[in-house]
C-alpha cells in the first residue's frame, strides 16, 4: 500500500476508533457501577449481534490503526530495513486481529 | 561611518569540511552590527579564504543562513547584540546538508526535494492568453498568504529533527512549497502535487513539533502547511469523484 494509502487508513480508522472507545469506556463504567460480575456481563452479551458487530468493528479498526503507528516508530527509531519494518508491522496487525477476534468470539458466542 | 566601540567580539568560525575545526577571531564590536557583517569583516581582515554565502544583505534572497550559537538564522538580519553571549558568537554551517567548506553547505539535495514534493509550477495558459485573475480574498489564496513568502533559506530544513534522522524526508520548505501550489488555481497539476507531497518521505513523517515554524525567519508555519496538505488529502479521499477532487484534478478554464 502506498504511504498515502496508509495515512488514509490510519486517519479513517482513528475516526472510527474515537466514538468506539468512548462507548466502550462508558459501558465499562456503567457495568461496574452496579457491581455486575463477569458472568452476569457475559450472560448479557452472549448471542448479541449488536455487541458482536460493535466489538468486531473495534478490533478491525484497532488492528489497522495500531500497526501503522508502530511501523512509523520502528522506521524512525530502529536501524531495521524497510522490508523488515513492514513485515513486523503486518505481523503485529495480524496478532492484534487474532487476539481481538478470539475475545469477540468469547464475549458473544463461546 | 560605523562607530568603533572599544569593545571587541570573539568570533568562533567553523573552518574546513566535516573534519574541520573552530578558529577564533577578534572583531571590533560595532553598533547595529549583523552576524553577516561580522563574517564579512573576518573574511576581509583576517581570513581571505573564508567561504560563505550571501547576496542581498536585506533578508530577501535566502542565501546567508548559518548556525549561530547553535540556532539556524538568516545572518544578514540577525543583530549581534541579540545573539552574542558574553561577547562571543559561534558560527557554523547549517545542519542537515553536506558541508562544502567553512560556512557553505551543499543545498542541491534540499532543492531536489522541492521537485520531489511536486514543487514545479505547471501553467495552464500560454503567453498569448491573459494572465489569470486570482482574487486575493479567495479562500485558497488567503490560505497561502504566509506560505508564499518563503525565501528558500533552508533555516527550517536545518531546524527539523525529522530531516536529521530520516534522509528521505522532504522537509518543511519543500512541503510548504507544495501547499502553495495545491492552492494555486493557475497550477495545472494540483492533484499530482498533492499526491507527491503525501508519498514516501512526505507529510506522513512530520511530527508536528514545529521547530520549522519556530525558526523560520519570515514567520511562516510550514507545520500548518503540512497539516493543510494532510487535511486536503483526507478530504479529497472522502469526497472522491465529487466537487473537491474535481476542482483539484481539473485545470482551470480561462475566465
Ligand atoms: S513540524 Fe514537521 S516539518 Fe516542522 S520541524 Fe517539526 S517535523 Fe519538521
Ligand atoms: S519556510 Fe521559512 S525557514 Fe523555511 S526556507 Fe522558507 S523562509 Fe526559510
Ligand atoms: S543575504 Fe539575502 S537573505 Fe541574507
A59-71 confidence digits (pLDDT tens): 999 999 999 999 9
| Shared-domain flag, residues B13 and B76 | yes
Residues B234 and B115 in one domain: yes
Ligand nearest to the CA of B176: 2
* Residue A25: count of CB within 10 angstroms of its CB: 10
Q: Which of B77, B76, B79, B111 is nearest to B97 (CA)?
A: B111
From the CA of B211, give the closest atom in ligand 1. Answer: 5
**Percentage of residues in chain A having pLDDT higher than 70:** 100
Q: How far apart are CA B173 and CA B177, in angstroms?
A: 6
Q: Is the residue at B251 inside a domain? A: no
B254 within a domain of the structure (yes/no): no
* Whether residues B165 and B135 fall in one domain: yes
Instruction: Please tell me whether residues B14 and B35 are part of one structural domain.
Output: yes
Do strands B4-15 and B21-30 pair parallel, antiparallel, or not at all (unpaired)? antiparallel
How far off is chain A from B195, nearest CA to CA, in Å?
7
Can you give chain A as a three-state secondary structure string?
CCHHHHHHHHHHHHHHHHHHHHHHHHHHHHHHHCCCCHHHHHHHHCCCHHHHHHHHHHHHHHHHHHHHHHHHHHHHHCCCCHHHHHHHHHHHHHHHHHHHHHHHHHHHCC
Residue B157 and residue B32 share a domain: no
Asked if residue B130 and residue B70 are part of one domain, the reply reads no
Same domain, B120 and B215: yes
| Average pLDDT along chain A | 93
The CATH code of the domain that includes B238 is 1.10.1060.10
The domain of A15 spans 3-109
A37 touches B: beta carbon within 8 Å: no
Q: Is the CB of residue B74 below 6 angstroms from any atom belonging to ligand 3?
A: yes
Q: Do residues B40 and B25 share a domain?
A: yes
Do both B92 and B164 map to the same domain? no
How many C-alpha atoms does B69 have within 13 Å on its Cβ side? 15
Of B161, B206, B214, B219, the one to substitute when testing ligand 1's pocket (max ligand atoms within 8 A of C-beta) is B206
Q: Which of B91, B61, B83 is nearest to B152 (CA)?
A: B61
Domain boundary among B105, B131, B153: B105
- CATH number, domain of A21, equals 1.20.1300
Number of separate domains in chain A:
1
Cβ of B63 less than 6 Å from ligand 3: yes
- Residue contact A4–B195, C-beta within 8 A: yes
Q: Note whether B83 and B89 are within 8 A (CB).
A: yes
Q: Whose CA is nearest to atom 4 of ligand 2?
A: B156
Listed by number, the residues of chain A in 8-27 with a beta carbon closer than 8 Å to a beta carbon of chain B are 8, 11-12
The x, y and z cell numbers of residue B8, run together, are 571587541
Question: ∠ at Cα A50 (A47, A54), nearest 5°?
Answer: 120
Model pLDDT for residues B177-234, shown as the tens digit of each residue = 999 999 999 999 999 999 999 999 999 999 999 999 999 999 999 999 999 999 999 9
Grid coordinates standing for B29? Answer: 564590536
Q: How many CB pairs under 8 A join A and B?
A: 33
Alpha carbon of B165: minimum distance to chain A alpha carbons (Å): 7
Is residue B143 a part of any domain in this protein?
yes
Distance CA A97, CA A86 (A): 16
Q: How many structural domains are present in chain B?
A: 2
Bridge-based pairing of strands B88-92 and B65-68 is: antiparallel
Considering the domain boundaries, does residue B147 fall inside one? yes
Q: Which residues of chain B have pLDDT under 70?
A: 1-6, 240-255
Residues A19-38 have a mean pLDDT of 90
Nearest to B25 by CA among B33, B15, B16, B17: B15
Across the interface, whether the CB atoms of A4 and B233 are under 8 A apart is answered yes
Which of B105, B139, B165 is the endpoint of a domain? B105
Residue B255's pLDDT is what?
Answer: 38
Residues with CB under 6 A from ligand 2: B 150-156, 172-173, 176, 216, 218, 220, 222
Alpha helices of chain B — where are they, by DSSP H? 35-45, 80-83, 108-116, 139-143, 155-159, 161-165, 172-182, 190-198, 211-215, 222-238, 243-249
My answer on whether B14 and B88 are in the same domain is yes
| Count of beta carbons in the 10 Å neighbourhood of residue A70 | 16
Whether B253 maps to a domain, the answer reads no
Question: With an 8 Å Cβ cutoff, are A72 and B199 in contact?
Answer: no
Could you give the CA distance from residue B196 to residue B175 in angstroms, rounded to a whole number? 10
Q: Which residue of B has its CA nearest to A6?
A: B204
Q: Do B117 and B241 reside in the same domain of the chain?
A: yes
- Residue bearing cell 520502528: A74
From B105, B137, B154, give the residue that closes a domain: B105
Range of the domain at B112: 108-245
Contacts of A57 (CB under 8 A, 6+ apart): A16, A20
Same domain, B176 and B212: yes
| Grid cell for residue B89 | 558568537
Residue B6, class by beta-carbon neighbours within 10 Å (0-12 exposed, 13-18 middle, 19+ buried)? exposed
Residue B98: CATH number of its domain: 3.10.20.30
Mean pLDDT for A7-33 is 93
- At residue B247, the pLDDT reads 54
Amino acid at each position: 500500500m502506498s504511504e498515502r494509502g496508509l495515512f488514509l487508513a490510519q486517519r479513517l480508522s482513528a475516526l472510527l476508533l474515537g466514538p468506539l472507545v468512548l462507548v466502550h469506556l462508558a459501558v465499562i463504567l456503567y457495568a461496574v457501577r452496579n457491581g455486575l460480575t463477569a458472568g452476569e456481563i457475559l450472560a448479557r452479551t452472549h448471542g448479541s449481534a449488536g455487541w458482536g458487530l460493535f466489538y468486531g468493528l473495534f478490533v478491525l479498526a484497532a488492528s489497522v490503526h495500531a500497526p501503522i503507528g508502530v511501523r512509523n516508530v520502528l522506521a524512525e527509531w530502529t536501524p531495521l530495513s524497510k522490508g523488515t519494518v513492514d513485515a513486523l508491522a503486518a505481523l503485529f496487525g495480524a496478532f492484534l486481529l487474532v487476539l481481538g477476534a478470539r475475545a469477540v468470539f468469547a464475549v458473544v458466542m463461546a | 561611518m560605523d562607530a568603533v566601540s572599544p569593545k571587541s567580539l570573539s568570533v568562533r568560525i567553523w573552518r574546513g569540511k566535516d573534519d574541520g575545526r573552530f578558529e577564533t577571531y577578534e572583531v571590533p564590536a560595532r553598533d547595529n552590527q549583523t552576524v553577516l557583517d561580522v563574517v564579512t569583516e573576518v573574511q576581509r581582515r583576517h581570513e581571505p579564504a573564508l567561504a560563505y554565502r550571501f547576496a542581498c544583505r536585506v533578508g530577501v534572497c535566502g542565501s546567508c543562513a548559518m548556525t549561530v550559537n547553535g540556532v539556524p538564522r538568516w545572518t544578514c538580519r540577525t543583530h549581534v547584540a541579540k545573539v552574542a553571549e558574553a561577547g562571543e558568537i559561534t558560527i557554523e554551517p547549517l545542519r542537515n546538508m553536506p558541508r562544502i567548506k567553512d560556512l557553505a553547505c551543499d543545498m542541491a539535495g534540499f532543492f531536489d526535494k522541492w521537485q520531489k514534493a511536486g514543487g514545479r509550477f505547471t501553467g495552464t495558459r500560454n503567453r498569448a492568453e491573459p494572465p489569470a485573475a486570482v482574487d486575493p480574498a479567495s479562500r485558497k489564496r488567503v490560505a497561502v498568504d504566509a506560505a508564499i513568502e518563503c525565501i528558500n533559506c533552508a533555516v527550517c530544513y536545518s531546524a527539523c529533527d525529522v530531516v536529521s534522522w530520516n534522509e528521505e524526508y522532504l522537509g518543511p520548505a519543500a512541503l510548504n512549497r507544495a501547499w502553495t501550489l495545491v492552492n494555486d488555481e493557475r497550477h495545472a497539476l494540483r492533484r499530482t502535487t498533492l499526491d507527491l507531497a503525501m508519498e514516501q518521505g512526505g507529510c506522513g513523517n512530520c511530527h508536528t513539533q514545529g521547530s520549522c515554524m519556530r525558526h523560520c525567519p519570515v514567520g511562516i508555519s510550514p507545520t500548518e502547511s503540512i497539516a493543510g496538505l494532510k487535511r486536503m488529502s483526507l478530504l479529497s479521499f472522502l469526497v472522491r469523484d465529487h466537487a473537491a477532487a474535481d476542482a483539484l484534478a481539473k485545470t482551470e478554464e480561462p475566465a
